[in-house]
Structure formats: C-alpha cells, structure tokens
Structure 1
Amino acid sequence: MRGRRPGPGQRPGPIQRSTINEASREAGQVRRQGGFAMAIERWRPFGALTEREPFRDIQSEVNRLFDSFLGRPTSAATGTGSRVWMPVVDMYETNDDLVLNFEIPGVPEKDISLSITGDLLTVRGERQFRQELKDDHTYHIERAYGKFERSVQLPMSVQAGRVTATFRDGVLEVRLPKAEEVRPKEIKIDVL
C-alpha cells in the first residue's frame, strides 16, 4: 500500500482526516511522505481574486507586479500604509486637440494636480476616506482610497502652454492642442 494515493472517503494515514484540505483530498492530491499525509495545493498568484469574478482585479495585479519590478511607488514605499491606485483614462483626438478623460470620482478638485513634462502627462492626487465607521458594521470595502498617480505618454506633439483642464462629475477632461506640424491640413487638388 505504500506510495498509493487514498481514494475518496479513505483515511490518508496516521493523522486525522480533518487536518487535510477536503478539496485536495477529494481530488486525490494527498500524498504520503515519511509517514505523514501532506495535502498539495496549487499555488495561486492571484489568490485575492474571487471564484465568481476571476478577471476583476487582474489588471491591478499585473500593474502592481510591474510597478514593484520597475521600482515605482507602491503602498509599502509611500510609508502611509495606504493603497496606491490608478484612475482609468480614455484618450482620443479631434482635428485640433488630443483629449484625455480621467475618471476620478470622490476626489475634490483641490486634491488633484496635473503636470506635463515633454511627452508625459501625469495626474496625481489623493482620495480621502471620509466615512465614520464607529457604530457601523462594515462587511466589504472595494473602493480604493489613498494616493493615486497616472502617467500617460502622449502619442504626438502638443502645445503644452495651451493645455486646459476641466473637472465635472468625477471626470477630469484634459485638452491638449496639437502642435501645428501634426494638425491635419487640407490640400487642394488641381484638375489638369
């Protein structure tokens, strides 16, 4: 019997059945090693994901992994213990402008800063946790709080001195006028 896996409902060895992960035991993933039963579980790098929503946080997990690899600030690096998050952005162009819309609900305009350096536009700020939880029973909090930063590389030359920004209903709209050399020009075609 040595070296064989126990089938469903069989005892794996000298330790109590309750100490073995039931899912692993039922899947036949219990092995004997040196007289002790050992449950083998698959490593899940995205363990925070739920079974019902397996792709919900993959983007933030991949961003977190890249940020830690590239040495960018994370919650541990800020020293505040707060989570660093990144607002989503839409980017499109019109004939005259490059337009970026950053979704930043719940952040007052005074807590947002915008800068442009070369072809890199950066939005920074902080969303404060303003809710009192003294007598409440909190079950789940998904909204991100704390510092945020989002840098976007601009796909074309812009006139940095003429950038305008408006903030309405939690959306920061940044309009960057295109440089003259990248604006579309109509060329008249002569008929011969």
Structure 2
Amino acid sequence: MYKFALALTVLTATSSAVATTVLTEQNIARLEAALPELAAIEQDNPQGLTKLRLKKHCDWQQHASDLRQQEQGKAYVAEVDQVLAKHQLTAPLFLELTAKGSWPLLQSLQPVQQLTRQSLPFLPEPQRRIAEQKIQQTEQMQQAIEPCLTAADKTALQHHKQRLLKLATSLPGAAF
C-alpha cells in the first residue's frame, strides 16, 4: 500500500509540474487560418492596434476585457468574434497566442533596437521621436510578455520559431 501511495504522489507531483502551453500545433494552425480573415475586417482605425499596450500581468481574460472595453461600440467587434469562433479561438486565447507567438520576433529585434538606440543622437528630431516610440513600444511588449512565458512556452517557441516569425510579421504593430 505504501508503494502505491508513493507512486500516486510522485505521479501527481510530476503531472502538476508539467506546464502547458497555448503554442500547440492545433492552436497555431487555427491562428494561421484566422489571421487573413481578421485582416480583411474593416476597422475604424487599424493603425490603432499598433498602439496596443499589454499591461504587465498574465491574465489573458483581463487583457481581452480591457481591449473589448477600449473597442466598445465598434461594429467590427462582432465580426472579429465570429471569425474567432469559426476557428475555435476565444479572445483571451487569441491574445495569448499572438503575444507569445510574437516573442521570437521581439527577440530578433533586439540588435536592431540597440543600433537604433545608438543612432538616436544623429537622427533629425521627427525620426528620433518615432524611433524612440518604437523602441519604447517593443521594450514594453517584451517586459509584458516575458514573465508570462512558461517553460513549456519556451520549448514550443523553439520548436515553432520559424513558423511563428513568419506569422508574427503579419500581425499589426509587429514592424519595427
């Protein structure tokens, strides 16, 4: 009996220690299928998405609620919901997938950010201001997303890195 209880305890501890990730083959495929349809939806101000700022927490339901509140009353929200539902995605899952899926791109931008930061004193004022805003936005996204990455997320990111890089470049606000 003791061996059974010990085995059950070890099994329970092992299975609870294994982190899950939203970055699964199935979810990434759903995201890839949904993005072209989402991009086709007429929005009042699609460039507004480039100004999206995630707060520094990992509550994706709250992120979705905040974004929904920001976009409240806009006609295209229902269309977005329909596309997400069609592809078996929820708003929180979509936000988590796109945020975590953009991590390889955010990482790849670090050398560009460093060079841009070094060139700031030599840029004319308008370009310097734009460059500073882009650096700040990228750093803010990195600081908001990195603490939310589990060990399973990091493994999945390595596995799907090239696919996610390609996908992330099609997301609004991804361009540096």
Q: TM-score range by the shorter chain?
A: under 0.3
Q: Higher helix share goes to which structure? A: 2
- TM-score, structure 1 length as denominator? 0.23
- More contact order relative to length (CA 8 Å, sep ≥ 6): 2
TM-score in terms of structure 2 length: 0.24
- Greater share of strand: 1
Q: Which has the larger radius of gyration?
A: 1
